[in-house]
Amino acid sequence: MLDRLQAVEDRYEKLNELLSDPETLNDSKKLREYSKEQSDIQETVQAYREYKEVREQFQDAKAMLEEKLDAEMREMVKEELNELEERMESLEERLKILLIPKDPNDDKNVIMEIRGAAGGDEAALFAGSLYRMYTRYAETKGWKIDVMDSNPTGLGGFKEIIFMINGNGAYSRLKYENGAHRVQRVPETESGGRIHTSTATVAVLPEAEEVEVEIHEKDIRVDTFASSGPGGQSVNTTMSAVRLTHMPTGIVVSMQDEKSQIKNKEKAMKILRARVYDKFQQEAQAEYDQNRKLAVGTGDRSERIRTYNFPQNRVTDHRIGLTIQKLDQIIEGKLDEVIDTLILEDQSSKLQNADE
């Protein structure tokens, strides 16, 4: 581990040199790449330097014990040794986690897609509840929400809603939300007070840059049509709505949120790029998971990951067996306790796999 950490520190120093090199300063692409690489390893380097400093203090204190000391001084040195040893152990654990290969998508913005699944109107209402939960969570993080497309129902829910969350590290925290979410509650539409079970699916896609996934114009079929409102009636006479079909994968994106065809196409391209990128990632992950199943999945969206039980004010995450009696707070966007536990479990799983 120490050899790996030393290599990281050496690379950090080399990046310092490269970033002050006039050749780099005149090349915006290189400057951006080197700056990001340095930023990614900065925390690891700082922790490693702190570890080396504490280890040196520990060795110095150990050497003092071999000298002639009075009883009081000897006791003080022993106490210091215990404290330094605890700090070293704590830093070692932190460094192990920092050395886990970082998900290259972690710093990205996300495109979230929420759809009502089993349960009719109640599933659509639950999709609306999830959308509000994530928007409130995003607000606490200072992230910006941009609704890209939605299909609302008359009761205040959504058959489908697609939105982008812009914010540093958004994907690193929201990627664990991929999957089927189940709700158990008495619907507003239920007069008899019976508890219903409904589901909604959540897809979390990292925003893909053009350089990361190449989509050729010749591979896209573009269809235009008039936007329609509830019940299918035409809401305008211009052909502003756009449907993009990516021929190689069969992925289709329709967009009618904007009045401008150009804006609809821009939004549709963002979603298409993210879905194509995600498809390739899912295929690579499926191949990896065939050999090693991780404790916390971020892949299969048919997997039921969480249950929200309103009568008992309970949320259960089935992947890690976590149950919290704070549904009233979680549905208001206070998701950190759940997400932090998922991240910790994921890190532990990766550490265990690295040791095997």
For residue 108, is pLDDT > 60?
yes
Among the candidates 38, 71, 98, a domain finishes at 98
Owner of token pair 């499926």: 286
Range of the domain at 248: 217-279
Q: How many CB atoms lie within 10 A of CB 347?
A: 15
How sure is the predictor about 341, in pLDDT bands with cuts at 50, 70 and 90?
very high
**Secondary structure (H, E, C), 271-335:** HHHHHHHHHHHHHHHHHHHHHCCCCCCCCCCCCEEEEEECCCCEEEECCCCEEECCHHHHCCCCC
User: Using CA atoms, how far apart are residues 7 and 2, in angstroms rounded to an integer?
Assistant: 9
Asked if residue 192 is part of any domain, the answer here is yes
pLDDT at 228: 64
Q: Which two tokens stand for residue 205?
A: 């896609």
Question: Is the Cβ–Cβ distance between 241 and 254 less than 8 Å?
Answer: yes
pLDDT at 243: 87
Among the candidates 70, 98, 126, a domain finishes at 98
* 93 or 200, which is more confident: 200
Q: Residues near 117 by Cβ (< 8 Å), separated by ≥ 6?
A: 123, 180, 198, 199, 200, 201
Residue range 184-222, pLDDT digits in tens: 988 776 667 788 888 999 999 988 876 567 788 888 888
* 167 or 296, which is more confident: 167
pLDDT at 82: 92
The structural domain count of the chain equals 3
pTM score over 0.75: no
Asked if residue 31 is part of any domain, the answer here is yes
302 and 340, same structural domain?
Answer: yes
Q: Residues near 197 by Cβ (< 8 Å), separated by ≥ 6?
A: 119, 182, 183, 184
Which CATH number covers residue 246? Answer: 3.30.160.20
How sure is the predictor about 230, in pLDDT bands with cuts at 50, 70 and 90?
very low
Asked if residue 104 is part of any domain, the answer here is no
